[in-house]
Structure 1
Amino acid sequence: MSQQEYDKDLRSVQQARRLLEQCRAAQRQFASASAAQVDAICQAMSEAAYQEASRLGLMAHEETGYGNPDHKTIKNQHAAKAVWESIRGIQTVGVVSRDEARKVMTIAEPMGVVAALTPSTNPTSTAIFKSLIAVKGRNGIVISPHPSAARCTQEAVRIVAAAAERAGAPRGLIVCLEEPTLQATQELLRHYAVTVILATGGGPMVRAAHSTGKPAYGVGPGNVPAWVDRSADIRKAARDLVWSKSFDCSLICATEQTVVADQAIAQDLRRHMEDAGAYWVDEAQAARLGELLFRPDGGMNTRSVGQSAQALAKAIGLAVPETVKVLVAPLGGVGAQHPLSREKLTSVLGFITAPDARQGLETCLSILKFGGDGHTAVIHSQDRAQVEEMALRLPAFRIVVNSMSTLGSVGHTCGFAPSFTLGTGGIGGAISGDNITVTHLINIKRVGWELVSWTPPDAEAAARSDARGPRHADAQDVDAIVRGVLDRLKAAGATHGQAS
């Protein structure tokens, strides 16, 4: 390691410590803010981020080389506006509720300082989202950006922080590491000033967050199956699948990964998907795609992440029209022998058929267990009983029905909480299966008044004795004593008789 690299590591660690201490001081000051002050600050953050959504989207695309800048703009707008609208009315200051029947009052308290890790796939939208939910809960936040998306993330944080300060937030409440090294991130996660961790990114990052001993919200991978039933609106399902998978080149982890088609409508579905921009590859081309997307150990090749169908096709020696949005690869099964049945954060979609809904469900279960337990699943069906039966069995905490999973899962086209951190629950290695939002970043204090007066039995006896003075045995007491003695003698005699 050169001296220059060593100095960078030292500088980054020192910066992390300095920012954390400043953030803790700012948060302690901000903890006394009123609800009106908090909302005014969040409103200013939301408006500033929304106005800069397009520029930030372009910055993220240019810096990472991932996705589509127009689609990144939509994600930034969703993070700035939809997230804020969803949390605006949530009480995060003072008394939250009063239960007069149970005589319990609840009070919201901030958690403190949030250590937030953001990914390269959705860098600016995640930074905006996390800053909003942290500040709405009267927390401070220190963001550690992915190194390959550091500049655009820092700019997103600068925009919301400046807006917050103009609206009255203390300086240092929202900050971002300027030199995001591994050492700085480790310092951030373990520092005494941090009270909760909010991690969005790859598996190693999330495992590191959970290993610190601090409360942590992390998310796992999403290997999302999409069942298409014979009862579905096939034309709409086809459009949803292609549009969803191609949205920002499949960079949202809840994007569909494999279509499981009812055999009865599989050909019809394929035809409509092709009309919408899907291109079917053959077996040899699918094998080359598998080698392009994944390393021999099954790990994802990051150079293939977030790429267009045209770029991926060119990489395997295939030319496709500019109208193509997604490459579709037929699968012979699910598992390590079928690499394209894995999570694919790029414009490639698996396709497999099933003879009926029962077998379709089993295939969806296999896909989730192969790398997406707890995350998301999709059902295209008009049979409500079938939807409910599948939803009961699928080990996923978001079931998107008759919609695009990419935008449905984050609360844009479905009624889930708008979020860019999607919990996978215990089965997916996370503490929550929710779409993470402000309610996960506040503590609730409970105040309870006595409902029932209770006195220990010995105290009751003593109280009666004190009230009546010295107590002497009466006739009822004597009768009870005699009956007790006779019962014991009778029992002893019966036992003796049996023994003889």
Structure 2
Amino acid sequence: MDNDLKSIAAARRTAETAFTAYQNFLGTDPAHVDAIVDAMARAVEPVARELGAMAVEETGYGNVPDKRIKNLFNALSVADFLRDVTTLGMLWRDDATKVAAFGEPMGVVAALIPVTNPTSTIIFKVLSAVKAGNAIVCAPHPRGIKCGMATVKVMADVAEQMGAPKGLIQCLDQVTIAGTAELMSHRRTSVVMATGGPAMVKAAYSSGKPTLAVGAGNVPCYVHKSKAGEIGEVAEMIVTSKCFDYGTACVSEQAVIADPEIARELRQEMKMRGAYFCTLAESDRLSKVIFTGKQAMNAERVGQSSQALADAAGFSIPPKTRCLVSEETEIGWHRPLSAEKLNPVLAFYEARDSQHGIEMSISIAKFEGWGHSACLHSNDPEIVAQFAAVPTGRVLVNTPAILGGMGYSTDLEPSFMLGTGTWSGSITSDNVTALHLINIKRVAYENRPWRDIYEEYGE
């Protein structure tokens, strides 16, 4: 049997098993569901580093300390948030209108897992799906199947020890494009959660099933002159956020746009924190390494350290360089480094003035990153209001983009699936949570005499 047939068989088997487990899980007391979710989150904590190390070794992307942080955030912060969220049973009741809402599970969730975040995304999606009373089958990238299966096993074992049906949480052990497509379109699958490259997201939308999917992020980060007294802290936020896990998160900063009054100081402060500003020739060589020439990222250069990228591009950088910066003036594929870069590489623009800075931010977001996120550093409320015109689902103010967007340093919902809205073809611009994985049933009593419609609108 060839690999496609094996993967298709695995998809069919897991979907059927998941559906049976889901049926057996129906009616579980919400308090027991919460206990299972909490137990799974706690089980991740002692193995967070081990799972992160497995992910780095298998995929070659990112670094272990930051993978560990991602795993812990998606276990502990997400579980903390979910603990106070009602997903099953009565959600709310309004005695005045005689309407009440009840949450019910969707069924079997097919969860596509990206190679850039293979363990943390599974943790997030499993907790969210189970909190909503669903079964879940994870379909990892072939390059992340071992660490994906290990993560699922940790969570599934604990859930079953807590009384969850066997098969409620599963992972494909044979993964091909054909097998993943079979899982998404299978009659037992109710909803698809798709995180991955453009081709896989497009396939998810074509599966015929309701789909929660995300688009690319090309996050502009505009630094306004009103931050003149805080440029060091702004530089630290930008460099730290962009370099986190070697840039594998699409919500991290992609391009810095600085007002002319503070641009020189910002460059200097970024250099002091490990940013290396490339020469024009180095930038051109770097772009040829990062991109394939077909308006696509080179998968072999995703999630690599700045040193590895510089070595591949054939130029030298100082020791302890954290990120590479390319000075840019134009936006578009004729300047590839103005696009999304899933590695520690930033574009840097100097605006003519505040209006130009906001206009450039809008252009950068529209080029590849429509609907995702934008970042602003400003103490001027009027500038914040103007910057909100950027066409993104999140506008993150005075915070590192990655930590603000995923809901750690802001009060956005903790999530590792950030919707991009209809700007990029997604059904939601929300931070996706368990609340997106339930059907909401409304029970409504008659509240006005039905015959009155003839008096009010009849002839």
Distance of 1:23 and 1:230 partners within structure 2: 55
Code of the aligned partner of 2:219: V
Compute the RMSD of aligned alpha carbons. 1.3
Give a deviation string over 1:252-274, Cα, whole Å, max 9, x none: 01110010011111000000000
Residues 110, 318 of structure 1: alpha-carbon distance in 2 compared, 3 angstrom cutoff: same
Give a deviation string over 1:449-491, Cα, whole Å, max 9, x none: 111113278899xxxxxxxxxxxxxxxxxxxxxxxxxxxxxxx
1:463 corresponding residue in structure 2? none
1:110 corresponding residue in structure 2? 105
TM-score by length of 2: 0.97
What percentage of residue pairs aligned between the two structures are identical?
46
Which of 47, 52, 72 is matched with 1:52 structurally?
Answer: 47
2:290 corresponding residue in structure 1? 293
2:21 corresponding residue in structure 1? 26
Give a deviation string over 1:393-416, Cα, whole Å, max 9, x none: 110111111111112111111111
Distance of 2:10 and 2:264 partners within structure 1: 58
The answer on 1:345 being equivalent to 2:338 is no
Distance of 2:453 and 2:267 partners within structure 1: 76
1:63 corresponding residue in structure 2? 58
Which of 76, 83, 90 is matched with 1:88 structurally?
Answer: 83
**TM alignment of 1:7-18, pairs within 5 A:** 7-18=2-13
**TM alignment of 1:249-328, pairs within 5 A:** 249-328=246-325
Aligned residues: 454
**TM alignment of 1:60-459, pairs within 5 A:** 60-232=55-227, 233-391=230-388, 393-455=389-451
SS of equivalent to 1:195: strand
Are the aligned partners of 1:374 and 1:433 in contact in 2 as well (CA < 8 Å)?
yes
Residues 198, 388 of structure 1: alpha-carbon distance in 2 compared, 3 angstrom cutoff: same
TM-score by length of 1: 0.89
Code of the aligned partner of 2:103: A
SS of equivalent to 1:329: strand
Give a deviation string over 1:13-44, Cα, whole Å, max 9, x none: 11111111010010011011001110111111
Are the aligned partners of 1:16 and 1:177 in contact in 2 as well (CA < 8 Å)?
yes
Distance of 1:306 and 1:64 partners within structure 2: 9
SS of equivalent to 2:369: coil
1:469 corresponding residue in structure 2? none
Distance of 1:28 and 1:381 partners within structure 2: 51
Are the aligned partners of 1:264 and 1:355 in contact in 2 as well (CA < 8 Å)?
no
Residues 299, 98 of structure 1: alpha-carbon distance in 2 compared, 3 angstrom cutoff: same
1:182, distance to aligned residue in structure 2 (A): 1.2
Residues 243, 100 of structure 1: alpha-carbon distance in 2 compared, 3 angstrom cutoff: same
Are the aligned partners of 1:242 and 1:278 in contact in 2 as well (CA < 8 Å)?
yes
1:7, distance to aligned residue in structure 2 (A): 2.3
Name structure 1 gaps, 5 residues minimum: 1-5, 461-500
Distance of 2:299 and 2:430 partners within structure 1: 28
Give a deviation string over 1:434-453, Cα, whole Å, max 9, x none: 01000000111110111111
1:497 corresponding residue in structure 2? none
Name structure 2 gaps, 5 residues minimum: none
